[in-house]
A and B are shown apart, each in its own frame.
Chain A
Amino acid sequence: MKAVDFDYAQPATLDAALELLAREDVMVRPVAGSQSLGPMLNLRLAQPELLVDITRIAELRTIRQEGDRLVIGACVTHARLEDGDYPDVTRGVLPSVAAVIAYRAVRNRGTIGGSLAHADPAADWVNVLTALGADVVIAGPGGRRSVPMTDFILGVFETALQPGEIVAEIQVPALSDRARWGYYKVCRKTGEFSHATGAVLVDPARGVQRCVAGATSGKPVVIDGPALFADGCTEAALAAHLDGSPAADDPIALRTHTVALKRAIAQVMS
């Protein structure tokens, strides 16, 4: 399997990358770890004329704490988030979730920003960062803008990124000491894509009670408030919230999503 004959650039600065990404004479795509785009290139589902590799841009590989937020550069790998050489303000969410993304050989190269920009509905960060209430900082020709996760993922492989823009960093708010979280994926095989994802965050100090139903073949479904916790997350209750989502139309999918969320909720309650 061979990708199309694309050109390739590896700029050292964000400005240089943005300049390349602004080109209109060729079809250009940014690439980070190539763990999602690589398969698409090999299968020729993606046929760019120019790839701009952003992994050598030092500022995109940093993790820093800013007040009560952790700021993660787009090119930080899943493996690094798994290994935890940073102040984890999420009480274990980041390393635990990173550890169950695909396989270690993929985690060593795949990046958090790349995963978000790819926007597969079954991707771990797409759903977990939505549950955490993270913001995505986008860099583009017009400067920087910050978009909440709920507005960043628009659908299947669809994001708020405009032509010429890339994900620069992800800002994750700190959880309070009493915060609890749950995460459950229904997978046929370890590391495979999820068929239904449940992500749950309860943080009383910050007034958060949130369930996210992910891998719905659409954008993550956010259910704020105590409803699903109170009624034990029945299929009927979940169906009401999934109204309009592709997952609501299929009884088997609805059952699978109920199981995922129920088990994520159970982790919070236990």
Chain B
Amino acid sequence: MSAHAKTISLTVNGTRVEASVPPRQHLGDFLRERELLTGTHLGCEHGVCGACTILIDGEPARSCITYAVACDGRSVTTVEGLDDDPLAAELREAFSAEHGLQCGFCTPGMLVAARDVVLRRPDADNPAIRTAMSGNLCRCTGYVGIVNAIRRVIDARNTNAG
């Protein structure tokens, strides 16, 4: 443990957590190694691949270039915390139906980012979905299945709303 360890208090998937963290520990390592929430995947660890995308106060963020110590007082939601989220459930179903994943490494980040796209951009056409999802890399699918999955959820929601 670092001589510089700080005590932080935050909410992780709805549960209050107090922890002593070395300031250099990024949020992704904190979630995986201390909270054992291994659904958050670490790819590039410098903010490029998007695999580690989680929610901080409801907004997507890269957990690899956000330090745990900076999240004192915040509410963090990982892919595990979206188990009972209705929109995340629709997305999981659609990703499966549309072959939006193969190896699954990028999927936790994809689901968090896709959820944000559906909420923020209900009018998005396919090019807009591609642009909005371009911060998340997938090396298996070629993205077609991922775009189709998000398309499916947006269309279903718009049909139900209409």
Chain A positions near chain B (C-beta within 8 angstroms): 1-8, 10, 34-35, 38-39, 41-43, 51, 53, 55, 79, 102-106, 108-109, 189-191
Contacts and interface: CB of A to CB of B under 8 A. Distances in A.
Given A8-B67, A104-B113, A109-B66, A190 B47 contact: no
A136 to B, nearest CB: 24
A108 B56 CA distance: 9
Contact of B134 (A53, A79, A103): A103
B32 to A, nearest CB: 13
Given A34-B67, A103-B135, 19 more contacts: A1-B46, A2-B24, A5-B4, A8-B69, A10-B72, A34-B70, A35-B47, A38-B46, A38-B47, A38-B64, A39-B65, A42-B64, A53-B70, A103-B136, A105-B53, A108-B61, A109-B56, A189-B134, A190-B131
B116 to A, nearest CB: 6
Interface in B28-44: none
Interface centre among A3, A42, A51, A105 (most CB of B within 10 A): A105
A6 B65 contact: no
A215 to B, nearest CB: 18
A103 B60 CA distance: 10
A5 B24 contact: yes
B159 interface: no
A102 to B, nearest CB: 7
6 contacts: A8-B70, A35-B62, A41-B24, A42-B45, A104-B113, A191-B135
B145 interface: no
Q: Which 6 A-B pairs have the closest CB atoms?
A: A103-B135, A38-B65, A8-B23, A39-B46, A190-B134, A105-B60
Contacts, number: 90
Given A38-B47, A42-B45, A53-B70, A105 B113 contact: yes
B4 A105 contact: no
Contact of A102 (B2, B67, B120, B135): B135
Contacts of A55: 70
B99 to A, nearest CB: 23
Given A2-B24, A5-B22, A6-B24, A35 B65 contact: yes
Contacts of B24: 2-6, 41
Interface string B98-122: 0000000000000001001000100
Interface centre among B6, B23, B134, B136 (most CB of A within 10 A): B23
B26 interface: yes
Given A7-B23, A191-B135, A104 B70 contact: no
Contacts of B69: 8, 10
A38 B67 contact: yes
A55 B116 CA distance: 23
Interface centre among A35, A39, A55 (most CB of B within 10 A): A39
Given A1-B45, A2-B24, A6-B4, A106 B66 contact: no
B65 A34 contact: yes
Contact of B135 (A1, A8, A105): A105
A266 B47 CA distance: 33
Interface centre among A1, A8, A10, A190 (most CB of B within 10 A): A8
A63 to B, nearest CB: 18
B60 A104 contact: yes
B1 to A, nearest CB: 10
Contacts of A104: 60, 113, 116, 120, 132, 135
Contacts of B53: 105
B23 A51 contact: yes
Nearest to B121: A104
Contacts of B56: 108-109
B59 interface: yes
A39 B47 contact: yes
A60 to B, nearest CB: 15
A89 B67 CA distance: 34
Contact of A8 (B6, B46, B61): B6
Nearest to B47: A39
